[in-house]
Amino acid sequence: MHLSIWTAVLLGLVLTPALADNHQQTEISKKISIGGGYQIMTINRKWLVASIEQKTNHEYWKTIWNYDTGFVATKVLPERACYVSIMNRTEMPSFDGLPQLAADLRNQRHPRPPGKEITFTLIRRAIRDLQSYGPDIFSTCTGLSTYVAYEVHGPQFNLGSCLKLDVLQYLALTYCHNDNFV
């Protein structure tokens, strides 16, 4: 019995500084080069928000995953558009799994296609209360053309023109302008 108490005390002494350290670091950021550009992943543990942005010579996009409000917003330039969707938590990586995902990231000269894909159809709509989606999404999407993105499943026809974003070689977010709805 004494032994187990001492073990617990010792473990406590060893673990406490490590945990304290972890909590102080509210933001993790990692940059990798992919093909001709790079992607930066940022995880904010305090706000439960992750963002991934990609910059190449001809393209810029940033996707924000707000695990607190449960929304995903993706800003795409030069389209100057912002696609907002409800986060499907069964398809997205868990928030707690993101640090490991960041740790596993490696620079890629020849990127592989991601193993998972989520496809959305877009409806152009002015989003009145952008603030309720969280401050990051608000600041990212303010002033852009906003679209509501609805997930689609199964084989799709007439999806229109699609834009596929390879996020960290892990997840493809494909946004399609369904011309039938315009």
Ligand X SMILES: *[C@@H]1O[C@H](CO)[C@@H](O)[C@H](O)[C@H]1NC(C)=O
Q: Where are the beta strands (DSSP E) in the chain?
A: 27-34, 37-44, 49-55, 60-66, 71-77, 81-86, 116-124, 145-152, 161-167, 171-177
Q: Does 94 bind ligand X (CB under 6 A)?
A: no
Find the shortest distance in angstroms from Cβ 91 to ligand X.
5
Sheet containing 81-86: give its strands across. Answer: 27-34, 37-44, 49-55, 60-66, 71-77, 81-86, 145-152, 116-124, 171-177, 161-167
Ranges within 21-40 binding ligand X (CB under 6 A): none
Near ligand X by CB under 6 A: residue from 11, 151, 164, 181: 151
Q: Which of 10, 11, 80, 91 binds ligand X (CB under 6 A)?
A: 91
Q: Dump the DSSP string for 104-152.
A: H---BSSPPPPSEEEEEEEEE---TTGGGG-HHHHHHHTTSEEEEEEEE
Q: Which span (46-54, 87-95, 127-135, 160-168) binds ligand X, by CB under 6 A?
A: 87-95
From the CB of 147, what's the least distance to ligand X, in Å?
16
Task: Considering only the stretches 12-20, 21-29, 37-45, 84-92, report the one whose residues sit in contact with ligand X under the rule CB under 6 A.
Answer: 84-92
Written as six digits, the tokens of 162 are: 């699609």
Question: Using the rule CB under 6 A, which residue among 4, 24, 57, 90 binds ligand X?
Answer: 90
Count residues binding ligand X (CB under 6 A): 5
Per-residue tokens: 151: 């997930």
Q: How far is it, in rounded angstroms, from Cα 134 to Cα 182? A: 28
Q: Is residue 4 involved in binding ligand X (CB under 6 A)?
A: no
Rounded CA separation 143/69 (Å)? 21
Site membership for ligand X, residue 155 (CB under 6 A): no
By CB under 6 A, residue 117 contacts ligand X: no
Q: Does 88 bind ligand X (CB under 6 A)?
A: yes
Which is closer to ligand X, CB of 7 or CB of 88?
88
Residues within the interface to ligand X (CB under 6 A)? 88, 90-91, 151, 153
